[in-house]
């Protein structure tokens, strides 16, 4: 009987020590708010910086969009949509809230990012989003804002 209690205690101790080493943060899913098409996933090339794509680019980006949770991707219909990109550096375990809002002739792309402190390395995330042209002013300028929590 003492052997069983010893082995049970040992298994319990190992289980607790393994679970205590997992320091990861438990973030909710990333969010897209404002004028961003909520369930669209945009896949594109690296811009090297911020970008607003209004029309079919001449091979610079090969942007595709999925409206079915990434099962299929189709080319972006630039007569209906504008695509925005705001690349940022953040930790490996991060939560993003992306928002695009329009006021007058200005459009603001704001990203709020919260990173888990257990990851010291930073990684680049492009943050492509898609917006219906009908929700944007005719001739607009874009400002980009990053907020870190």
| 86 or 24, which is more confident | 86
Counting Cβ atoms within 10 Å, is residue 102 exposed (0-12), middle (13-18) or buried (19+)? middle
> Which tens digit of pLDDT belongs to each residue from 30-77?
999 999 999 899 987 766 677 888 776 656 677 899 999 899 999 999
Q: Are 43 and 130 in contact (CB under 8 A)?
A: no
Retrieve residue 126's tokens.
Answer: 């492009």
pTM (2 d.p.): 0.78
Distance CA 119, CA 122 (A): 8
Helix (H, G, I), strand (E, B) or coil at 130: strand
Confidence of residue 9 (pLDDT cuts 50, 70, 90): very low
DSSP 36-55: B-TT-EEE----SS-EEE-S
Q: How many CB atoms lie within 10 A of CB 94?
A: 21
Confidence of residue 93 (pLDDT cuts 50, 70, 90): confident
């Amino acid at each position: 009987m003492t052997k069983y209690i010893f082995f049970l205690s040992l298994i319990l101790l190992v289980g607790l020590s393994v679970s205590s080493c997992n320091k990861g943060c438990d973030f909710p899913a990333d969010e897209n708010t404002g004028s961003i098409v909520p369930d669209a996933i945009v896949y594109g090339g690296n811009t090297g910086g911020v970008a607003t794509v209004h029309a079919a680019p001449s091979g610079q980006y090969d942007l595709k969009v999925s409206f079915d949770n990434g099962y299929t991707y189709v080319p972006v219909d630039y007569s209906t949509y504008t695509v925005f990109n705001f690349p940022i550096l953040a930790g490996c375990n991060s939560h993003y809230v992306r928002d695009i809002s329009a006021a007058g002739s200005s459009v603001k792309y704001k990203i709020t990012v919260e990173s888990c402190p257990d990851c010291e390395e930073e990684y680049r995330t492009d943050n492509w989003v898609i917006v219906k042209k009908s929700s944007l002013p005719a001739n607009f300028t874009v400002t980009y804002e990053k907020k870190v929590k």
